[in-house]
A and B are shown apart, each in its own frame.
Chain A
Amino acid sequence: DAGVIQSPRHEVTEMGQEVTLRCKPISGHNSLFWYRQTMMRGLELLIYFNNNVPIDDSGMPEDRFSAKMPNASFSTLKIQPSEPRDSAVYFCASSATGVGTDTQYFGPGTRLTVL
């Protein structure tokens, strides 16, 4: 299995621009999670989906952030407009909820720099 796939791996953009991060979960997994990691705040859960439905988006920082999961094999996290404080590494993870240990498997992350 290819594991969780994220694209792009690196993104540099200017303040005010729209940024879209993409994630392909492991085939057969029914839960998907978006995290943000910074030195100051550590690893934060932004939003998670179960069977393509958003379950908890309480971690989304503000209205500039939105996430979608149109089907079981694809999700996006969009920031519009982006700000320098959004610079971070964004991780996507997936799991097979209700099967065994519900272990989350992480992608390699997207390093976002907003100038």
Chain B
Amino acid sequence: GEDVEQSLFLSVREGDSSVINCTYTDSSSTYLYWYKQEPGAGLQLLTYIFSNMDMKQDQRLTVLLNKKDKHLSLRIADTQTGDSAIYFCAATDAYGGATNKLIFGTGTLLAVQP
């Protein structure tokens, strides 16, 4: 089945760009997602990318997908202290059958220094 991996921690200064990386194993995943979790809250969908795309931009967020290397990244431009959170990468599980079972990575803690 699908396996998703992320680095655990990233520290950046306010105003810099942040790049959070993710690798996955199953090339047949249809969608790949980025979720954000703030302290004490649930996971909030940030953005997603369809597997036949290689880039998607949404305001300060840019998602890059390299299908050959099974590598997904999330770039946050002009990072703000409010972006401090845990970011989860997730991929649809091709073995999930009729239901979109997601496989989540361990999450990357983004710490933004003022």
Residues of B within 8 A of A43 (CB): 43, 88, 104, 107
Give the interface SS of chain B, mostly helix, strand, loop or mixed.
Answer: strand
Closest to A6 in B: B42
Complex CA gap A48/B96 in Å reads: 10
A75 within 8 A of B: no
Complex CA gap A97/B98 in Å reads: 8
User: Contact between B41 and A108 (Cβ–Cβ < 8 Å)?
Assistant: yes
User: Contact between B42 and A42 (Cβ–Cβ < 8 Å)?
Assistant: no
Complex CA gap A95/B107 in Å reads: 21
Total interface residues on B, CB under 8 Å, equals: 21
Interchain nearest-CB distance for A46 vs B (Å): 12
A106 within 8 A of B: yes
Residues of A participating in the B interface, judged by any CB pair closer than 8 Å = 4, 31, 33, 42-43, 45, 48, 50, 55-56, 91, 93, 95, 97-98, 101-109
Pick the 10 closest A-B CB pairs, nearest first.
A102-B100, A106-B42, A106-B43, A50-B99, A108-B42, A43-B104, A42-B106, A31-B99, A109-B42, A97-B99
Residues of B participating in the A interface, judged by any CB pair closer than 8 Å = 31, 33, 35, 41-45, 48, 50, 88, 92, 97-102, 104, 106-107
